[in-house]
Structure 1
């Protein structure tokens, strides 16, 4: 890797490459050319007749290597990733007297020298920049030409606030600057588990841990009602004791229930009689005794829908008033708690509870609904609390059917 003077070392090496190209060989200028590294607006053209300026105008992170571990760390060790940099340079010739042909010649000599250096060698870096350890970097430092669009040229030279000069741009990457944070070098592992057996391979892809897959209400209903049993189904659920935890988003404390029956793939619990309607989450804590010590494992959580129950005498008959409205009052259990919405589903229409229309919270077990333009006839009804509907379908028979008692008859 490289130290913090790596950028300086690369620039110094490029200066040497350009200096050798413009001052040696049959095409070199007789009087010599001064090779410098200055901001373009600070180059003094009235002192030297011939100059070539190398300017580092931008540095950027080489994103592909931003989180890579250092190449020189041993297996099992970890270290702060090095800082990967890409350097962008500008070569600009300066010739007194406006002799553009001489400037073209200088640019050609310098560009050819850089072009021949597709990669800066370790020897070049060491000889030109002995003050830095950039020559020991394991990754090669490569040179790539960079075309500058017209807008890029305008923006670049406008920032210098100096007249444009014929130039060539190229990129040098990647320079890896070491972090000063020491690497973590843990001691070797002597034993890999009991009897030095190492990891255990399984012949299947099933999880060895207890896991819930679904909460299934009785009779295959879409939701469970308070007081009914629910099967929490999954895998690896065998345990000495099993306890379910039910959590409701509007209640501060969860409900903890001891299972009435538990097998390897099912844990059966009973929904508390006072459990409010809504979407609960259910998980299971499995406790086994290992070497005289109780070990408890908690499964993942699965959703459990708890439905309200209409406790009013059903079916009912109501008459429309002069405006075509009907007022329907229902009792439900468990009561609606603050923060829940309540709707009466009459046929295919969802009617909000009267307090919702007034902008007030709905609470309690007594609900009132005003149905505008109520159609005359017999309609099936459902009570929807917190998005969960009361059970309308009777699944106790081989063929499911609507519950005939869950109806409202509207008369004129």
Structure 2
């Protein structure tokens, strides 16, 4: 499932989880009226629809340095074939309440923080298992607050050319993007007694 569409799938799943958590909050009306699109995926600096309650914006992609430089992965069906390891990505989002009522905005932030504190990982996207990228990744994704400094936030809102709003950063890792190259036969290295190796055809 970790093809090139995984970034979009993760974004939609993250929004679905936030929407479900807000809808299920007892005795609190966040103004969603059962419409998931009221959590927009547009930048909070855009001219948003008046019905928008919050923005969930993917603003940065980064390679997870701890998962780089993996060895080729043996194919599970044909062990003499090897796959390229997936590209390990981490996604950074900005969740921004955009309503006029600051009390509701702060309730939104608190509920989203609470949800990902209670449920910091997930294994399904769009109702399908994420999978382990042919053995090259974890079958679960982790979500945690990505608390930005005031300076970083000021720079971001300056880039949006919009007035500053209190926002919550969210980090999702590790999102594996599978290679599109089919498995191929690689030459193996056989270790010799002296610690050196020779290439086996």
Q: Is the 8 A contact 1:77 1:185 kept in 2?
A: yes
Q: The residue matched to 2:83 in structure 1 has which SS?
A: coil
Structure-1 separation of matches of 2:41 and 2:184: 40
CA contact (8 A) 2:73 2:84 kept: no
CA separation of 1:10 and 1:30: change in aligned 2, threshold 3 A: closer
The answer for the alignment partner of 2:58 in structure 1 is 56
**Aligned mate of 1:114, from 104, 113, 116:** 116
From the two aligned structures, give the one with the greater strand fraction.
1
**Residue of structure 1 equivalent to 2:131:** 136
Q: Per the alignment, do residues 79 and 101 of structure 1 end up closer, same or farther by CA in structure 2, a change over 3 Å counting?
A: same
Matching residue of 1:83? 87
For the 8 Å contact 2:74–2:82, the answer to whether it is kept is no
Aligned ranges for residues 6-405 of structure 1 at < 5 Å?
Answer: 6-29=6-29, 31-32=31-32, 34-44=38-48, 47-48=50-51, 51-69=53-71, 73-74=75-76, 76-96=80-100, 99-122=101-124, 125-127=125-127, 135-137=130-132, 138-139=137-138, 140-185=140-185, 201=193
Dislocated runs of 4+, deviation >6 Å: none
Separation in 1 of the partners of 2:170 and 2:192? Answer: 54
Q: Is the 8 A contact 2:113 2:145 kept in 1?
A: no
Q: Which runs of 5+ in 1 are unaligned?
A: 190-197, 208-412
Contact 2:73 2:83 survives alignment (8 Å)? no
Higher relative CO (Cα under 8 Å, sequence separation at least 6) belongs to: 2
Deviation at 1:41, TM superposition (A): 1.6
* SS of residue paired to 1:11: helix
Q: Is the 8 A contact 1:69 1:82 kept in 2?
A: no
Q: TM (normalized to structure 1)?
A: 0.40
Q: How many residues align?
A: 184
SS of alignment partner, residue 40 of structure 1: coil
Question: How much does 1:31 deviate?
Answer: 4.4
RMSD, matched Cα: 2.9
- Secondary structure at 2:170 match in 1: strand
Distance 2:30 2:71 in 1: 50
* Stretches of structure 2 lacking an aligned partner (at least 5 in a row): 197-201
